[in-house]
Chains A and B, each alone.
Chain A
């Protein structure tokens, strides 16, 4: 019952908040807007907003390659995070397309590429690295005070990547990927032999560790990188294996409440096609199913919230996945060749469009839905 009530409240809030957001963008009702980082063919990097009918609504030129995007609960502002090891997070006003704030990494910290607004929109949480010690931290920024960095929480692991708040608005779930990086050595993963990734639940108010889940010892090179949370607080986990490529560990996991993390494998022939690499994970709007992209294998797999493998969909270089609420609880999938595919609620491809010259990066956010929570 508690779950139902929470979901009901969320849907109610969402309905209230979506109206003004859509009016601001000035696009027709029901035309799904998408927000994601992309590159062009000439080495330029952008945060871009498009709609599923091919409209190009916004381009914000970035100083480097972007990665994750978060929107506030009102869907008025987006935070775009530099790709790790990143030095910038920019706040963009979605109505005007103007950059309102440019947050620079503080001394001794770099950004890891993801973050979240709190449900009241007053604070922005960012995954960061205290690189001298290698400890992961969560930077807390005050949206009401020019995004001043007001606090820092331990991530309780190394290499925090994607983070998500549970429905209570105060429990942060952190994918501690386990991989140590240093800004002196961009892109070098320096501790693959000794990595220990984990999924940590942290109380935002106190920074206290509430729960921690680790893959079993034999799979200690299974980097927990991307997560999503359903309306009833189920956590779907998408991982990347840093060990030998001919081994086929489970790459996906589901974790709920105080239960242990459950590792999931697709049927053998499908599992091999994932190439030991998952790029992003997204629940549908109802939280009944989730989709996981495997860009190296060019496939997206679908799973039930209970952990059952449902099927796959092929799209070359597909990585970003947004959830859509507008047209029946499906997904929108973007790829490095500019493609955007709509997946309807029976997991069939309902639409495919190419934005010429767009190299969609790893993550995609569908607006006018509940994703900004």
Chain B
């Protein structure tokens, strides 16, 4: 009898602590809309690139630059998803190579613009350096001060098509074919070759959020800030040419917040640390909205710089809340080592 009671208690307890995690809903409401938006924006960029290069004009260039910003920010809104089809064929690096500490984009782009292969009919950008295949190279071609000429247009059109194809490829790999990725993502369970249980996949999502915040804090903000006002390095800001540095961070944070709300908030059901996490996202957004200069300039302006540093500190606190408090509350592991082999 006692045994039976203990067994029932154990069952009840395990039921209560088993997390729900509706991964199908996370895919349908967060992941797939994110990638569909990326596919739509890159398709628009592709059209604008071909239109400008067929009949260059100031208006067509403005349209192309707007298309670039739209697609780039759609990519920023997807950057926090660091698993699955975006990693096939090194796609994540081919979309954008940043930070580029060794100046690969400029150097490899310069080499390619001098390469006769660029003008040949069978030119295939997929065979060229990862550094010239995506947004980082395209930004230099579109925001250089001089509009793209015929040679640069070869590359602009090729990059736009490559971005569109990669975005379409991600949507396709997630949702179509014999073995769409969503099939594995939606049902983590023993026997699932990609995710053996819900905790593992939830840990992977948490790792994605953590990695994105780490990237913003230690790269996107720290690199242009450098060690002090006098040492500020505005041209280290992501997207300084197209003035997309802060909009990119806003897109990153919006996406992280949306994923948090879809995946983790329901598990906490208003209990700690949910209120603290919500407050931290709201505080960071509020600070971001007070920044009215481009990031590249803000780091050299005493008042604005203080706000950038404040944002950095607020995001560090948010990162701690996720890595320590949320992980503990939900019994999740960030799992660093098994994600990083050789």
Interface residues of A (CB under 8 A from B): 67, 83-84, 113, 182-185, 188-190, 192-194, 225, 240, 244-246, 248, 269, 272-273, 275, 277, 279, 295-296, 298, 316-317, 319, 335-337, 359, 362
B10-68 at interface with A (beta carbon < 8 Å): none
Can you name 18 A-B residue pairings with CB atoms under 8 Å? A84-B342, A183-B102, A184-B102, A185-B97, A185-B104, A188-B90, A193-B89, A244-B173, A245-B181, A248-B193, A272-B193, A273-B193, A275-B194, A295-B338, A295-B341, A296-B338, A298-B338, A336-B337
For residue B110, CB closer than 8 A to chain A, the reply is: no
What does DSSP make chain A's interface, helix, strand, loop or mixed? loop
With both chains docked as a complex, state the minimum distance between the C-beta of B274 and any C-beta of chain A, in angstroms: 28
Segment of B126-134, B233-241, B275-283, B320-328 engaged in the interface with chain A: B126-134
Whether B89 pairs with A359 at a CB distance below 8 angstroms is: no
Q: How many B residues, CB 8 Å from partner?
A: 31
Q: Which residues of A contact B181 (CB under 8 A)?
A: 245-246
Whether B341 pairs with A193 at a CB distance below 8 angstroms is: no
Nearest CB to that of B84 among chain A residues?
A: A245
With contacts A185-B97, A244-B179 taken as known, whether A67 is within 8 angstroms of B107 at the C-beta atoms is no
Q: Which residues of B contact A83 (CB under 8 A)?
A: 342
Whether A190 pairs with B90 at a CB distance below 8 angstroms is: yes
With both chains docked as a complex, state the minimum distance between the C-beta of B122 and any C-beta of chain A, in angstroms: 15
Nearest CB to that of B184 among chain A residues?
A: A246
Q: Which residues of B contact A246 (CB under 8 A)?
A: 179, 181, 184, 193-194
Among A190, A225, A279, A362, max chain B CB count under 10 A is at: A190
Contacting residue for A317 out of B126, B191, B337, CB 8 A: B337
Q: Which 7 A-B pairs have the closest CB atoms?
A: A336-B337, A184-B104, A272-B193, A246-B179, A184-B102, A188-B93, A317-B337
Among B130, B191, B335, B339, max chain A CB count under 10 A is at: B130
Contacting residue for A296 out of B88, B102, B191, B341, CB 8 A: B341
A317 to B131, CA, bound (A): 32
Interface residues of B (CB under 8 A from A): 84, 88-90, 93, 97, 102-104, 107-108, 126-127, 129-131, 173, 179, 181, 184, 191, 193-194, 196, 335-339, 341-342
A113 to B339, CA, bound (A): 18
Contacting residue for B342 out of A67, A192, A273, A335, CB 8 A: A67
Q: Which residues of A contact B84 (CB under 8 A)?
A: 245
Whether A319 pairs with B89 at a CB distance below 8 angstroms is: no
With both chains docked as a complex, state the minimum distance between the C-beta of A274 and any C-beta of chain B, in angstroms: 9
Whether B193 pairs with A359 at a CB distance below 8 angstroms is: no
Nearest CB to that of B93 among chain A residues?
A: A188
A186 to B102, CA, bound (A): 9
What does DSSP make chain B's interface, helix, strand, loop or mixed? helix
Nearest CB to that of A83 among chain B residues?
A: B342
With both chains docked as a complex, state the minimum distance between the C-beta of B7 and any C-beta of chain A, in angstroms: 27
Q: Which residues of B contact A277 (CB under 8 A)?
A: 341
Contacting residue for B90 out of A189, A240, A272, CB 8 A: A189
Whether B130 pairs with A336 at a CB distance below 8 angstroms is: no
Whether A359 pairs with B93 at a CB distance below 8 angstroms is: no
Q: Which residues of B contact A194 (CB under 8 A)?
A: 127
Q: Which residues of A contact B89 (CB under 8 A)?
A: 192-193
With both chains docked as a complex, state the minimum distance between the C-beta of A163 and any C-beta of chain B, in angstroms: 15
Q: Which residues of A contact B335 (CB under 8 A)?
A: 317
Q: Which residues of B contact A269 (CB under 8 A)?
A: 191
With both chains docked as a complex, state the minimum distance between the C-beta of B154 and any C-beta of chain A, in angstroms: 21
Contacting residue for A336 out of B88, B97, B102, B338, CB 8 A: B338
A193 to B341, CA, bound (A): 20
With both chains docked as a complex, state the minimum distance between the C-beta of A138 and any C-beta of chain B, in angstroms: 19
Q: Which residues of A contact B336 (CB under 8 A)?
A: 336
Whether B107 pairs with A184 at a CB distance below 8 angstroms is: yes
Q: Which residues of B contact A192 (CB under 8 A)?
A: 88-90
With both chains docked as a complex, state the minimum distance between the C-beta of A277 and any C-beta of chain B, in angstroms: 6
With contacts A67-B342, A336-B338 taken as known, whether A244 is within 8 angstroms of B130 at the C-beta atoms is no
Whether A245 pairs with B130 at a CB distance below 8 angstroms is: no
